[in-house]
């Protein structure tokens, strides 16, 4: 059972590379090429929100006890960010199935939703990992971030000639989490009451 659980978590992280990074990266540049402002605005917002997911990876590298909580919050916010905006949703509904950019965007949104839900379900199966990621039972959640740790460590050493350690990853993760949290509060207090669920993208030049 542990082997199946480990395989499932590993597969979830592999899929996250595709659906959290690969596909939105492609859609973002595709929307620029097509000059589709609705999709471009959606992806711009998504990238800002998804920074929390990368912060959670730093916290996993640093073995911060509540890193898995941050990971699940990040996937939840990423999912909300692609469904939240009324003007973008209305715009996407106007395109028919033959317009491939918006069709793939819609499919991607549903895929992102299911992957985020899967993350939550798997996390609940290891509920003790929400508050104590360093236990032996939670090692399976730390393994997928090990390759990222090696990559960042080599990159850090190449540019700065210094060693990138787990305590440094934890510090950078917590500091970034604080900045992110302050930015989210500012948006909630200032921009959300003013604009509501309107993303304020311009409808001029639609293709």
Q: 24-41 pLDDT, tens per residue?
A: 999 999 999 999 999 999
Tally Cβ neighbours within 10 Å of residue 50: 21
Residue 124 has pLDDT above 70, yes or no: yes
pLDDT above 60 for 189 = yes
Q: What residue spans define the domains of the chain?
A: 2-195
Mean pLDDT of 88-93: 93
Task: Note whether 174 and 70 are within 8 A (CB).
Answer: no
**d(C-alpha 80, C-alpha 89), whole Å:** 12
| Helical (H) or strand (E) element with 160 | helix 146-160
Show the 3-state SS of 70-98.
HHHHHHHHHHHHHHCCHHHHHHHHCCCCC
Closest CA to 144 of 46, 13, 50, 35: 13
Question: Residue 203 pLDDT > 70, yes or no?
Answer: no
Q: pLDDT value at position 2? A: 65
pLDDT at 1: 45
Q: pLDDT (tens digit, 9 = 90+) per residue, 47-83?
A: 999 999 999 999 999 999 999 999 999 999 999 999 9
Tokens matching residue 149: 């740790």
SS3 8: helix
Which tokens sit at 192?
Answer: 């959300």
Determine the pLDDT at residue 66. Answer: 93
pTM of the predicted protein model: 0.88
Cβ neighbours for 94, distance < 8 A, ≥ 6 positions apart: none
Q: How far apart are CA 80 and CA 41, in angstroms?
A: 15
Is the confidence at residue 137, as pLDDT, over 60?
yes
**Six-digit token string for 113:** 């939703």
């Amino acid at each position: 059972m542990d082997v199946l659980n480990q395989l499932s978590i590993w597969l979830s992280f592999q899929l996250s590379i595709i659906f959290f990074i690969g596909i939105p990266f492609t859609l973002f540049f595709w929307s620029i090429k097509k000059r589709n402002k609705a999709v471009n605005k959606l992806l711009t917002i998504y990238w800002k929100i998804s920074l929390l997911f990368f912060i959670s990876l730093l916290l996993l590298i640093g073995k911060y006890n509540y890193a898995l909580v941050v990971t699940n919050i990040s996937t939840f916010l990423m999912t909300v960010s692609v469904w939240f905006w009324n003007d973008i949703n209305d715009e996407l509904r106007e395109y028919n199935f033959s317009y491939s950019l918006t069709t793939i965007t819609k499919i991607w949104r549903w895929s992102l939703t299911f992957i985020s839900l899967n993350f939550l379900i798997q996390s609940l199966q290891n509920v003790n990992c929400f508050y104590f990621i360093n236990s032996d039972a939670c090692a399976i959640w730390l393994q997928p971030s090990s390759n990222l740790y090696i990559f960042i460590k080599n990159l850090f050493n190449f540019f700065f000639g210094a060693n990138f350690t787990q305590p440094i990853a934890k510090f950078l993760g917590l500091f970034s989490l604080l900045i992110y949290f302050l930015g989210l509060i500012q948006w909630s207090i200032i921009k959300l009451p003013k604009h509501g669920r309107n993303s304020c993208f311009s409808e001029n030049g639609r293709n």
